[in-house]
Structure 1
Amino acid sequence: MPFTIVRQDITKLKVDAIVNAANTELQMGGGVCGAIFKAAGTTQLQSACDKLAPIKTGEAVITPGFDLSAKFVIHAAGPVYRQWNEAKNAQELRAAYTNSLKRAVENNCESIAFPLISSGIYGYPKDKALKVATSAIQDFLSDHDIDVALVVFDKSAFNISCELLGEVDSYIDEYYADAHPRQTQRRELLDVELEALEEADESASKYNGPFLKDLLAPSVGAPAPLDDLVGNLDEPFSKTLLRLIDAKGKTDVEVYKRANLDRKLFSKIRSNKGYMPSKRTAIALAVALELSLDETDDLLKRAGYADR
């Protein structure tokens, strides 16, 4: 399932569960925690938390979402950053993400949104926090199907995520769309284009086997030789994918149908540059493209699965 990084207000996301970067006593705090409590209804959410407190660092518990659009709030206690204890910091932060995802799956959630846990008053450096978050989420998605969004709202976290992971899918309410009409129009045109291609190729075949889902996506120019695609490690996953489709002489519809991907998901791959694929999606696309082992390995590296 998809993993995206977004710049957004987590309390407004329409997902099954949002994660609260909680303290171990599950008391209302400031920052993201305070915003979640206020949006859910402070009294009722605190009452639910009191029944579950305290928890240990790295643990996660679940409560109803009350007045939020999300069904649930998952409260995860991240570590207070200590520079002299990097290994334990990372282990506990990773556990906070993994245990949150487990609570979501146990409660039949199909989508979940995280803040960048411990990166606020707990002092975890944002670049390190982001690396732990993406690693933990991607590893979990290798074996589970759930849509995951990592929400980075403040400008410094957003800039770091751009640097580490390419351009981020950043839509801030309707105001952001209004301020960026060209991007909104481009996404609509891509949907129309894909719909037309789908109607023209209804009989495209499908492969059986493990399937995955991806993200990212710039528009592409002329096809490049396959040899030129290998070794350019700075090229984002989506651009590599689209260039491979051209180089292999295949159509978008043929590839996403063979990979058993939804048309809307493939549209996201084309139009959202911050989209991080699950491992199964990357492999399914490699199979659909009939890639060699070296080409498959290169595609997986661009999806963030080197040496796994």
Structure 2
Amino acid sequence: MNHIQLVEGDITLATEDAIVNAANPHLLGGGGVDGAIHRAAGPQLLAECRKIPKINGERCPVGEARITTAGQLAARYVVHTVGPIYHSDPAPAAHLAAAYRSSLQLAMAHGCHSVALPAIACGVYGYPLSAAANIALQTCNEPQFKHLHIVFYLFNHEIAEIWRQTLAKFASS
């Protein structure tokens, strides 16, 4: 897992090729990571998101990803993905893994060699941190992603510590 790095800090400062945004299905900004990315990127990001066509009223269904330019961020792209709402999703683990997988695949399809990731679905969507870390790190360690430089930007010490402990377990097995 030497292609995965953990940083306790602000994802809007990431310099990787793409920043993954833990968005809502409408892609029009929101709270948490989504709001921070939209504020830092400026109005161009919202304009780009509005260009994404709606399918059944949503621009991005749970577990899928969409890509836009990054506005005023240092990254070239923002990959928007929607994680599951833990307590109401019928298959939260599968949808969380799909959100990570589709984000990384979309970034690679656009020539990205490095990707900044948040802890998707761990804020208001209520995904338990330990389980989310397990799914995130397991998915990012799949063979097709081994050549990507993946950096998790984890918002606070509690989340970063759980990710560190989970990464250490994977590294020792």
Give the TM-score taking structure 1 as reference length: 0.51
Distance apart, 1:143 and its partner CA: 2.6
2:160 equivalent to 1:158: yes
1:158-200 CA distances to partner (integer Å, 9 max, x unpaired)?
A: 221233234xxxxxxxxxxxxxxxxxxxxxxxxxxxxxxxxxx
1:172 — aligned with what? none
Within the alignment, does 1:149 sit opposite 2:151 as a pair?
yes
RMSD: 1.8
Aligned partner of 1:51 in structure 2 is 51
Q: 1:47 to 1:132 in 2, by over 3 A?
A: same
**Larger mean Cα displacement after TM superposition, 45-54 or 115-124:** 45-54
Task: Determine if contact 2:6/2:160 at 8 Å carries over to the other structure.
Answer: no
What is the CA-CA distance between 1:23 and the residue it aligns to? 0.3
Cα distance change, pair 62–125 in 1 and its aligned pair in 2 (3 A) = same
Of residues 100, 114, 119, the one that matches 1:111 is: 114
After superposition, the Cα gap between the structure-2 partners of 1:37 and 1:89, relative to the gap in structure 1 and judged at 3 Å, is: same
1:20 alignment partner AA: N
2:109 is the alignment partner of 1:101: no
Does the 8 A contact of 2:27 with 2:80 survive in 1?
yes
Structure having the higher helix fraction is 1
Written as runs of structure 1 = structure 2, the 5 A alignment for 1:247-286 is: none
One-letter code of the match for 1:67?
Q
CA distance in 2, matches of 1:105, 1:159: 28
Identity %: 37
Matched, 1:123 2:123: no
Partner of 1:14: 15
Matches within 5 A, 1:221-236: none
Higher radius of gyration, 1 or 2: 1
Alpha-carbon distance in 2 for matches of 1:133, 1:148: 11
The residue identity in structure 2 corresponding to 1:16 is D
Counterpart for residue 80 of structure 1: 85
Q: Counterpart amino acid of 1:152?
A: L
Letter in 1 for 2:159: A
Q: Residue in 1 aligned with 2:140?
A: 137
**Structure possessing the higher relative contact order (Cα contacts under 8 Å, 6 or more residues apart):** 2
Q: Distance in 2 between matches of 1:162 and 1:102?
A: 24
Point out the more displaced range, 16-25 or 43-52.
43-52
SS in 2 for 1:19: strand
- 1:39 to 2:40 alignment: yes
SS of 2:35 mapped into structure 1: helix
**1:68 and 2:68 matched:** no
Q: Could you say if the C-alpha distance between residues 100 and 84 of structure 1 is closer, same or farther in structure 2, counting changes exceeding 3 Å?
A: closer
Deviation at 1:84, TM superposition (A): 8.1
Pair 157,51 (structure 1): closer, same or farther in 2 beyond 3 Å: same
How far apart, CA to CA, are the structure 1 residues paired with 2:68 and 2:45? 8
Query: Where in structure 1 are there 5+ consecutive unaligned residues?
Result: 167-233, 238-301
Provide TM-score, normalisation by structure 2: 0.89
